[in-house]
Structure 1
Amino acid sequence: MRSVKMPSNVEIKAKVDDLENMKLKAKEVSGSDGVLIVQEDTFFNATTGRLKLRQLQNESSMLIFYNRPDQTGPKFSEYHITTIEDPESLKVTLGKAYGIKGVVKKKRFLFLVDQTRIHVDDVEGLGSFMELEVVMKENQTTEEGQQIAEDLMKKLDIQENSLITGAYMDLLLK
């Protein structure tokens, strides 16, 4: 059996006081207007990592498994994504098998800067956040990904004290 390397990224997530101001900064840094994506993520109980069904308005759905430490600052994450044709049926099946941990609903504004996805998120029940996902290239080190994330944090004026550790689901459960 051949081992397949999972795709990976370096990610940071921060609380944002002013959603519109962050969108303007992301627009400036990316040189684009960004794209609005309406998402609903259903998280399932998992013995390792996190497992979520992401349903996108007017787009195909995805089952996403990812493993990421809960720490502030840039963090390395490995993930696997499967496109789903019948998300409602899969949600019922996984709910019965593992139990549903919770649901996160958000409006995400996506901006791209080279290999980095800037997400400016309005999360139902939580507020405004910004997330950087530096999608790692083959043979790129975690340190290189962290440096890219830290450079973008400076350009977006993200302060260390606004960084958060876990996923939105974790915050909703608190």
Structure 2
Amino acid sequence: MQPDRNVELKARDPDPAATLATALAFGAREVGTLRQRDTYFPVPSGRLKLREEDGAGAQLIAYQREDAATARTSAYRRVDVPDAAALIAALEDVHGRGPVVAKTRRLLQWENVRIHLDDVERLGHWLELEAVADRDAEDLAADHGRVAALRTALGITDERVVAEGYAQLLTRADAPADLVEGARVAMGRAHAPYSHFRVGAALRAGGDAAGVHLGANVENAAYPQSQCAEASAIGALVAAGHTRIVEVAVMADTPLVTPCGGCRQRLSELAGPDTPVHLCGPEGARRTVTLGSLLPLAFDEQALA
């Protein structure tokens, strides 16, 4: 079975009342107000969320969509879920839990385009255009055309359009600026003359006089002697007199950087399964997970007994 498809555009909405009035004047009709809660789960590829909607039950939604500040195509599958709480618990056991996006959505319809006037908790007001494609359509040129027409009518300028989804925006908002900036500084100082893959890590220590401790990857011509950024940062933290990690940020200029297996074990020595790990790109945090979701069933001191 082929996935469903749509064409989406997301933008900041500085004046929702004006947007509503303009959309109605353009011929859109008002459908109603929805209250939705989307729980995201880290997965190896694509995106996965469980949507709970007041009065409409729950659905598991798996989708693929590139991040681009323009109208972009999504391919998605929806599955009705009879027990949302049980499925959330099961998925969290396997994947860990990502951000939770709660929003009130005022829904309008123009031709096959859904107009979402969203009030998102902790993110404010947003506007989404979603042209739902015909399942048998060979291309989506007509859908792109309708989204473009609505974008012009609503006066959506380039600087208002965003590439990321709400989960990514919320993750970036959650990641502490000092930790993200520390990882950025460390990445800039990486010694990576062979791979040219520069990684920075920033660790927040627990206890008295806690601070942020930085590390970069340090490569060596004898490859086994190289050191990961997380290992470098752990050394700096311990040298400063600390033995507990309460928060982690790792950054690289790659679609999604994650600590290698060895560094997950190194981090688990001084951090707990609930320790947040912010996975960052140069622009900021892209996803926040827990150390336990990165390293389930970690080898710890109890395993030595």
Of residues 137, 151, 154 in structure 2, which corresponds to 1:153? 151
Looking at structure 2, the residues matched to 151 and 31 of structure 1 have their Cα atoms a distance apart, in angstroms, of 12
One-letter amino acid matched to 1:129: W
Paired residue secondary structure (1:118): strand
One-letter amino acid matched to 1:144: A
Q: Which residue of the partner structure matches residue 61 of structure 1?
A: 58
CA contact (8 A) 2:40 2:49 kept: yes
Partner residue, 1:163: 161
Shift of 1:144: 2.5
Q: Which amino acid aligns with 2:101?
A: V
Distance in 2 between the 1:75 and 1:12 partners? Answer: 7
Measured in 1, the distance between the counterparts of 2:123 and 2:28 equals: 28
> In terms of mean alpha carbon deviation, does 142-151 or 155-164 score higher?
142-151
1:77 to 74, 78, 82: 74
Structure 1 residue 44 displacement after superposition: 0.4
* Runs of 4 or more consecutive aligned structure 1 residues displaced over 3 Å after TM superposition: none
User: CA 1:109 to 1:64, structure 2 compared with 1: closer, same or farther past 3 Å?
Assistant: same
AA aligned opposite 1:22: T
1:105-134 per-position Cα deviation (integer Å, ceiling 9, x unaligned):
000011111111110100000011110111
Aligned-pair CA distance for 1:140: 4.4
Q: Which moved more, 1:21-30 or 1:124-133?
A: 21-30
TM-score by length of 1: 0.94
For 2:38, which of 12, 30, 41 is the aligned residue?
A: 41
Gaps of 5+ in 1: none
Alignment of 1:135 onto 2:132? yes
Say yes or no: does 1:101 pair with 2:98: yes
CA contact (8 A) 1:55 1:87 kept: yes
> Where do 5+ consecutive residues of structure 2 fail to align?
173-305
Aligned to 1:7: 4
Query: Identity of counterpart residues, as a percentage?
Result: 30
SS in 1 for 2:99: strand
1 CA distance for matches of 2:106 and 2:38? 16
Larger mean Cα displacement after TM superposition, 38-47 or 135-144: 135-144
Deviates more, 1:18-27 or 1:57-66: 18-27
- Cα distance in structure 2, aligned partners of 1:109 and 1:70: 24
Looking at structure 2, the residues matched to 167 and 49 of structure 1 have their Cα atoms a distance apart, in angstroms, of 13
The CA deviation at 1:30 is 4.0
> Which of structures 1 and 2 has the bigger CA Rg?
2
d(CA) in 2 for partners of 1:169, 1:20? 25
Q: Which amino acid aligns with 1:156?
A: L
Contact 1:27–1:34 (8 Å) recurs in 2: no
Q: Taking structure 1 as reference, are residues 35 and 142 closer, same or farther at Cα in structure 2, changes over 3 Å only? A: same
Q: Relative CO higher for 1 or 2, CA cutoff 8 Å, sep ≥ 6?
A: 1
Q: TM-score, normalised by structure 2?
A: 0.54
> How far apart, CA to CA, are the structure 2 residues paired with 1:127 and 1:163?
15
Count of aligned positions: 171
CA distance in 1, matches of 2:15, 2:53: 25
- Provide the residue aligned with 1:25 in structure 2: 22
SS of alignment partner, residue 116 of structure 2: strand
Name the SS of the counterpart of 2:66 in structure 1.
Answer: coil
The residue identity in structure 2 corresponding to 1:155 is A
For residues 92-115 of structure 1, give each alpha carbon's deviation from its aligned partner in whole angstroms, at most 9, with x where no partner exists.
111111111110000001111111
Question: What is the Cα-based RMSD across aligned positions, in Å?
Answer: 1.2
Distance in 2 between the 1:140 and 1:152 partners?
A: 22
